[in-house]
Amino acid sequence: MPKQTKNPPPFVDPPFHLVEGAADQRLILFCDHARNALPPAYGDLGLSPDSLRRHIAYDPGAEAVTQRLAALTGASAALAHYSRLLIDPNRGEDDPTLVMRLSDGAIIPGNARIDEAEISRRIETFWRPYRQACASLIDRVLDRNLTPALIGVHSFTPCFQGRARPWQVGVLWDKDDRLASPLIEALRAENLTIGDNEPYDGALFGDSMYELSTRRGLPGALIEIRQDLLTTPQQCDDWAALLAKILPQILLREDTARVEFFGSRADPAPSS
Protein backbone atom coordinates (compact mmCIF):
# COMPACT_ATOMS: atom_id res chain seq x y z
CA MET A 1 0.00 0.00 0.00
CA PRO A 2 1.27 3.50 -0.71
CA LYS A 3 2.49 5.43 2.31
CA GLN A 4 0.25 8.43 1.85
CA THR A 5 -1.92 10.42 4.19
CA LYS A 6 -5.43 11.35 3.14
CA ASN A 7 -4.82 15.05 3.77
CA PRO A 8 -1.07 15.73 3.54
CA PRO A 9 0.14 18.66 5.66
CA PRO A 10 1.31 21.90 4.06
CA PHE A 11 4.92 22.06 2.90
CA VAL A 12 7.42 24.65 4.04
CA ASP A 13 10.13 24.14 1.43
CA PRO A 14 9.41 25.35 -2.11
CA PRO A 15 8.99 22.56 -4.67
CA PHE A 16 11.72 24.03 -6.87
CA HIS A 17 15.24 25.38 -6.86
CA LEU A 18 16.30 28.60 -8.57
CA VAL A 19 19.73 29.47 -9.89
CA GLU A 20 20.30 33.22 -10.09
CA GLY A 21 21.89 34.18 -13.39
CA ALA A 22 24.19 36.99 -14.42
CA ALA A 23 22.53 40.39 -14.75
CA ASP A 24 23.28 40.64 -18.48
CA GLN A 25 22.36 37.05 -19.38
CA ARG A 26 19.18 36.45 -21.39
CA LEU A 27 19.36 32.66 -21.28
CA ILE A 28 16.97 30.90 -18.89
CA LEU A 29 16.98 27.14 -18.30
CA PHE A 30 14.08 25.00 -17.11
CA CYS A 31 14.41 21.44 -15.82
CA ASP A 32 10.89 20.13 -15.23
CA HIS A 33 11.86 16.53 -14.42
CA ALA A 34 15.07 17.10 -12.48
CA ARG A 35 14.53 14.68 -9.58
CA ASN A 36 12.72 11.51 -8.52
CA ALA A 37 12.15 12.69 -4.94
CA LEU A 38 8.75 12.58 -3.26
CA PRO A 39 7.54 14.67 -0.30
CA PRO A 40 7.55 12.67 2.97
CA ALA A 41 3.77 12.84 3.29
CA TYR A 42 3.39 10.94 0.01
CA GLY A 43 5.88 8.23 0.88
CA ASP A 44 6.82 6.23 -2.21
CA LEU A 45 3.39 6.35 -3.95
CA GLY A 46 3.40 2.58 -3.52
CA LEU A 47 6.39 2.11 -5.83
CA SER A 48 9.61 0.20 -5.32
CA PRO A 49 12.99 1.96 -5.27
CA ASP A 50 13.76 0.38 -8.65
CA SER A 51 10.59 1.88 -10.13
CA LEU A 52 11.45 5.31 -8.77
CA ARG A 53 14.86 5.06 -10.45
CA ARG A 54 13.20 4.56 -13.84
CA HIS A 55 12.51 7.25 -16.41
CA ILE A 56 8.85 7.25 -15.39
CA ALA A 57 9.86 9.16 -12.23
CA TYR A 58 12.30 11.74 -13.66
CA ASP A 59 14.78 12.53 -16.45
CA PRO A 60 18.14 11.05 -15.42
CA GLY A 61 21.05 13.36 -16.13
CA ALA A 62 18.92 16.42 -16.88
CA GLU A 63 19.55 18.12 -13.53
CA ALA A 64 23.33 17.72 -13.80
CA VAL A 65 23.38 19.14 -17.33
CA THR A 66 21.17 22.07 -16.30
CA GLN A 67 23.25 22.96 -13.25
CA ARG A 68 26.52 22.76 -15.17
CA LEU A 69 25.17 24.68 -18.16
CA ALA A 70 23.93 27.44 -15.86
CA ALA A 71 27.35 27.65 -14.22
CA LEU A 72 29.15 27.83 -17.57
CA THR A 73 26.90 30.46 -19.13
CA GLY A 74 25.65 32.52 -16.20
CA ALA A 75 22.09 31.54 -17.11
CA SER A 76 19.24 31.58 -14.65
CA ALA A 77 17.58 28.22 -14.05
CA ALA A 78 14.51 26.71 -12.42
CA LEU A 79 14.56 23.05 -11.43
CA ALA A 80 11.57 21.15 -10.06
CA HIS A 81 12.26 19.27 -6.83
CA TYR A 82 9.74 16.45 -7.02
CA SER A 83 9.04 13.48 -9.24
CA ARG A 84 6.83 13.85 -12.29
CA LEU A 85 4.76 11.02 -10.77
CA LEU A 86 3.58 13.34 -8.00
CA ILE A 87 2.50 15.90 -10.59
CA ASP A 88 4.11 16.71 -13.93
CA PRO A 89 5.46 20.28 -14.09
CA ASN A 90 5.67 20.02 -17.88
CA ARG A 91 1.97 19.36 -18.39
CA GLY A 92 -0.85 21.85 -18.62
CA GLU A 93 -3.18 22.29 -15.69
CA ASP A 94 -6.05 20.56 -17.53
CA ASP A 95 -3.93 17.85 -19.17
CA PRO A 96 -5.26 14.35 -18.33
CA THR A 97 -1.65 13.17 -17.87
CA LEU A 98 -0.90 15.82 -15.24
CA VAL A 99 -1.03 13.09 -12.58
CA MET A 100 -0.25 9.71 -14.09
CA ARG A 101 -2.11 6.63 -12.90
CA LEU A 102 -0.24 4.40 -15.35
CA SER A 103 3.17 5.19 -16.86
CA ASP A 104 5.01 3.01 -19.40
CA GLY A 105 3.25 -0.10 -18.15
CA ALA A 106 3.69 0.65 -14.45
CA ILE A 107 0.65 1.25 -12.25
CA ILE A 108 1.21 4.11 -9.79
CA PRO A 109 -0.68 2.87 -6.68
CA GLY A 110 -0.60 6.25 -4.92
CA ASN A 111 -2.32 7.84 -7.92
CA ALA A 112 -4.68 5.05 -8.91
CA ARG A 113 -7.68 6.36 -6.96
CA ILE A 114 -6.75 10.03 -6.82
CA ASP A 115 -9.72 12.41 -6.74
CA GLU A 116 -10.14 15.96 -8.03
CA ALA A 117 -9.58 17.45 -4.58
CA GLU A 118 -6.17 15.80 -4.30
CA ILE A 119 -5.22 16.82 -7.84
CA SER A 120 -6.16 20.41 -6.99
CA ARG A 121 -4.10 20.17 -3.79
CA ARG A 122 -1.04 19.03 -5.74
CA ILE A 123 -1.55 21.76 -8.34
CA GLU A 124 -1.62 24.47 -5.70
CA THR A 125 1.18 23.01 -3.58
CA PHE A 126 3.67 21.82 -6.19
CA TRP A 127 2.73 22.64 -9.80
CA ARG A 128 1.67 26.28 -9.59
CA PRO A 129 4.56 27.51 -7.41
CA TYR A 130 7.04 26.04 -9.88
CA ARG A 131 5.33 27.65 -12.87
CA GLN A 132 5.20 30.97 -11.03
CA ALA A 133 8.90 30.71 -10.20
CA CYS A 134 9.69 30.10 -13.87
CA ALA A 135 7.62 33.12 -14.86
CA SER A 136 9.42 35.24 -12.27
CA LEU A 137 12.79 34.46 -13.88
CA ILE A 138 11.38 35.60 -17.21
CA ASP A 139 9.97 38.79 -15.72
CA ARG A 140 13.32 39.67 -14.15
CA VAL A 141 15.02 39.56 -17.54
CA LEU A 142 12.22 41.55 -19.17
CA ASP A 143 12.52 44.15 -16.41
CA ARG A 144 16.11 44.70 -17.57
CA ASN A 145 14.80 45.46 -21.09
CA LEU A 146 16.18 42.19 -22.43
CA THR A 147 14.36 39.44 -24.31
CA PRO A 148 14.64 36.10 -22.49
CA ALA A 149 15.64 33.01 -24.47
CA LEU A 150 14.28 29.81 -22.95
CA ILE A 151 15.75 26.32 -23.04
CA GLY A 152 14.10 23.31 -21.43
CA VAL A 153 16.45 20.44 -20.54
CA HIS A 154 15.12 16.87 -20.61
CA SER A 155 16.39 13.36 -21.29
CA PHE A 156 14.81 10.36 -23.03
CA THR A 157 15.18 6.60 -22.97
CA PRO A 158 17.30 4.82 -25.62
CA CYS A 159 14.43 2.40 -26.25
CA PHE A 160 10.70 2.87 -25.84
CA GLN A 161 8.03 0.19 -26.24
CA GLY A 162 10.53 -2.13 -27.89
CA ARG A 163 11.77 0.39 -30.45
CA ALA A 164 15.29 1.80 -30.43
CA ARG A 165 15.66 5.55 -30.63
CA PRO A 166 18.60 6.48 -32.86
CA TRP A 167 18.83 10.16 -31.94
CA GLN A 168 21.57 11.24 -29.58
CA VAL A 169 19.81 14.51 -28.88
CA GLY A 170 16.47 15.94 -29.90
CA VAL A 171 15.37 19.55 -30.32
CA LEU A 172 11.65 20.14 -29.81
CA TRP A 173 9.94 23.26 -31.04
CA ASP A 174 6.59 24.57 -32.20
CA LYS A 175 6.21 27.28 -34.87
CA ASP A 176 8.96 29.55 -33.58
CA ASP A 177 12.28 28.20 -34.87
CA ARG A 178 14.52 31.10 -33.82
CA LEU A 179 16.43 28.89 -31.37
CA ALA A 180 15.61 25.48 -32.78
CA SER A 181 16.88 25.83 -36.35
CA PRO A 182 20.36 27.20 -35.55
CA LEU A 183 20.64 24.79 -32.62
CA ILE A 184 19.86 21.79 -34.82
CA GLU A 185 22.35 23.04 -37.42
CA ALA A 186 25.09 23.53 -34.83
CA LEU A 187 24.53 20.10 -33.27
CA ARG A 188 24.61 18.42 -36.67
CA ALA A 189 27.95 20.12 -37.30
CA GLU A 190 29.21 18.14 -34.28
CA ASN A 191 28.42 14.91 -36.18
CA LEU A 192 25.56 14.07 -33.87
CA THR A 193 22.36 12.28 -34.84
CA ILE A 194 19.68 14.90 -34.21
CA GLY A 195 15.96 14.46 -33.70
CA ASP A 196 14.06 17.39 -35.20
CA ASN A 197 10.91 17.26 -33.07
CA GLU A 198 11.94 13.74 -32.07
CA PRO A 199 11.41 11.70 -29.97
CA TYR A 200 8.44 13.94 -29.17
CA ASP A 201 6.57 16.75 -30.87
CA GLY A 202 7.36 20.17 -29.43
CA ALA A 203 3.79 21.43 -29.82
CA LEU A 204 1.89 20.50 -26.66
CA PHE A 205 -0.92 22.70 -25.41
CA GLY A 206 -0.31 24.00 -21.91
CA ASP A 207 3.15 22.53 -21.43
CA SER A 208 6.02 24.57 -20.01
CA MET A 209 7.29 25.89 -23.32
CA TYR A 210 3.79 26.68 -24.54
CA GLU A 211 3.02 28.79 -21.47
CA LEU A 212 6.43 30.33 -20.87
CA SER A 213 7.68 30.80 -24.43
CA THR A 214 5.00 30.49 -27.11
CA ARG A 215 2.26 32.46 -25.38
CA ARG A 216 4.70 35.22 -24.43
CA GLY A 217 6.35 35.52 -27.86
CA LEU A 218 9.77 34.52 -26.50
CA PRO A 219 12.31 32.37 -28.38
CA GLY A 220 12.44 28.91 -26.87
CA ALA A 221 13.22 25.26 -27.50
CA LEU A 222 13.36 22.04 -25.55
CA ILE A 223 16.47 19.85 -25.62
CA GLU A 224 16.18 16.08 -25.11
CA ILE A 225 19.42 14.12 -24.55
CA ARG A 226 19.45 10.31 -24.72
CA GLN A 227 19.85 8.88 -21.25
CA ASP A 228 22.57 6.35 -22.04
CA LEU A 229 24.75 9.35 -22.92
CA LEU A 230 24.23 10.86 -19.45
CA THR A 231 25.28 8.00 -17.16
CA THR A 232 28.40 9.64 -15.69
CA PRO A 233 29.19 13.11 -14.34
CA GLN A 234 31.76 13.56 -17.12
CA GLN A 235 29.16 12.86 -19.81
CA CYS A 236 26.80 15.39 -18.27
CA ASP A 237 29.60 17.95 -18.09
CA ASP A 238 30.51 17.29 -21.73
CA TRP A 239 26.95 17.92 -22.92
CA ALA A 240 26.76 21.09 -20.86
CA ALA A 241 30.08 22.28 -22.29
CA LEU A 242 28.88 21.63 -25.83
CA LEU A 243 25.65 23.57 -25.27
CA ALA A 244 27.58 26.34 -23.52
CA LYS A 245 29.67 26.67 -26.68
CA ILE A 246 26.67 26.74 -29.04
CA LEU A 247 23.94 28.70 -27.28
CA PRO A 248 25.74 32.04 -26.74
CA GLN A 249 26.44 32.23 -30.48
CA ILE A 250 22.76 31.68 -31.26
CA LEU A 251 21.77 34.43 -28.85
CA LEU A 252 23.80 36.89 -30.94
CA ARG A 253 21.21 36.55 -33.70
CA GLU A 254 19.02 39.63 -33.97
CA ASP A 255 15.82 37.61 -34.37
CA THR A 256 16.26 36.12 -30.87
CA ALA A 257 16.40 39.57 -29.28
CA ARG A 258 12.79 40.56 -29.80
CA VAL A 259 9.35 39.48 -28.69
CA GLU A 260 7.50 37.94 -31.63
CA PHE A 261 4.35 35.85 -31.74
CA PHE A 262 4.21 32.84 -34.06
CA GLY A 263 1.14 31.04 -32.70
CA SER A 264 1.16 27.33 -31.97
CA ARG A 265 0.33 24.10 -33.74
CA ALA A 266 -1.15 23.04 -30.41
CA ASP A 267 -3.68 25.84 -30.18
CA PRO A 268 -7.27 24.54 -29.98
CA ALA A 269 -9.16 24.81 -33.25
CA PRO A 270 -11.63 27.71 -33.28
CA SER A 271 -15.22 26.66 -32.72
CA SER A 272 -17.50 26.95 -35.74
Q: State the average pLDDT over residues 156-179.
A: 96
By the 8 A CB rule, do 117 and 104 touch?
A: no
Would you say residue 6 has pLDDT above 60? no
pLDDT of residue 102: 85
What gap in Å lies between CA 10 and CA 7, rounded to an integer?
9
DSSP 37-79: B--GGGTTTT--HHHHTSTTT--TTHHHHHHHHHHHHT-EEEE
Would you say residue 213 has pLDDT above 70? yes
The domains found in the chain, sorted by start residue, are: 24-256 (3.40.630.40)
Sign of the torsion angle spanned by Cα atoms 44, 57, 34, 81: negative
By the 8 A CB rule, do 170 and 199 touch?
A: yes
pLDDT of residue 9: 44
Would you say residue 12 has pLDDT above 80? no
In one letter, which amino acid is 57? Answer: A
Would you say residue 62 has pLDDT above 50? yes
Q: State the average pLDDT over residues 236-265.
A: 98
Task: State the average pLDDT for the chain.
Answer: 93
pLDDT tens-digit map of 75-93: 999 999 999 999 999 999 9
By the 8 A CB rule, do 176 and 190 touch?
A: no
